[in-house]
Amino acid sequence: MAASRLSVLVFLLPALLYAGQGVVDIKTPALPVNGTVGHFAWLPVEMDPIPEEAEITWKFREISRTATIARLDTSDGKIKIFKDTGFEGRVKVHTNLTLQINDLRLDDGGIYTVTVTGGGRDYTGTVTLQIYGSRPVEGLSTSLYTVFPIIIIIIIIAIICVKVQKARCRNPEERTLPDQSFQQVPTIPNNYDGNTGLEQPCTVYAVVQRTNRVETQEGN
């Protein structure tokens, strides 16, 4: 009986050893990773062991879209970042296979999967990314930088106008000038006693200042 059990174990041992070869243990965060719009986020992953000849692929999955972000070939260490995914120019795969996403957007929130393909088998881990913050308005900062100086200039001009108006109200004498005009005085003949000769008439101009007077009549 003992001999039969031993023969069974000897028979199964190679199969168990073969099944244990190439098994990849992938560990990812159990809780969602939080990120803020405009900042960056790390999607960590622990892989033991890292296969020498395998492809490691990061993918994004969300209700409205799916995309293959990056792929690493462990045989030569080359990393391919896929285009037309919305992530190009914003992602980086570190040596420990952690995915870094820069300049986060609201639509980056979703489920990310890391898959190891090698030896005819696939091993997969998932990371959930949650994004917080409001979507920035394009061109808003430029508009503020353009409009703000104009607003400041308008405010300064308005303050100056108010001060000038107040100064005029405090000094009404300086604000109105007396009505002065030149009136022609009739020609006065140059006839004096003892002077029998006719002299040429001359014209005299006098400055007359007009003032408004209020005349009151008594007894009315």
Sign (positive or negative) of CA dihedral 136, 139, 145, 150: negative
Tell me what pLDDT residue 110 has: 94
Q: Are 207 and 180 spatial neighbours (Cβ–Cβ below 8 Å)?
A: yes
Note the pLDDT of residue 93: 93
pLDDT of residue 196: 52
Which of the residues in the chain have pLDDT under 70?
Answer: 1-22, 135-145, 171-220
Instruction: Output the pLDDT for position 154.
Output: 93
Q: Write down the pTM of the prediction.
A: 0.53
The helix/strand/coil state of 160 is helix
- The reported pLDDT for the residue numbered 163 is 85
Confidence (pLDDT) at 32: 95
**62 backbone dihedrals φ, ψ, rounded to 5°:** -145, 170
Predicted pLDDT of residue 68: 94
pLDDT score for 13: 39
Q: What pLDDT is attached to residue 143? A: 58
- Assign domain 23-132 one CATH number from 3.90.420.10, 3.10.180.10, 1.20.950.20, 2.60.40.10: 2.60.40.10
Domain locations in the chain as residue ranges: 23-132, 140-172
Pairing of strands 179-188, 78-81: unpaired
Cα angle for residues 83, 86, 87 (degrees, 5° grid): 75
Report the pLDDT value the prediction gives residue 6, as an integer from 0 to 100.
41
Q: Is 146 helix (H, G, I), strand (E, B) or coil?
A: helix
pLDDT at 169: 78
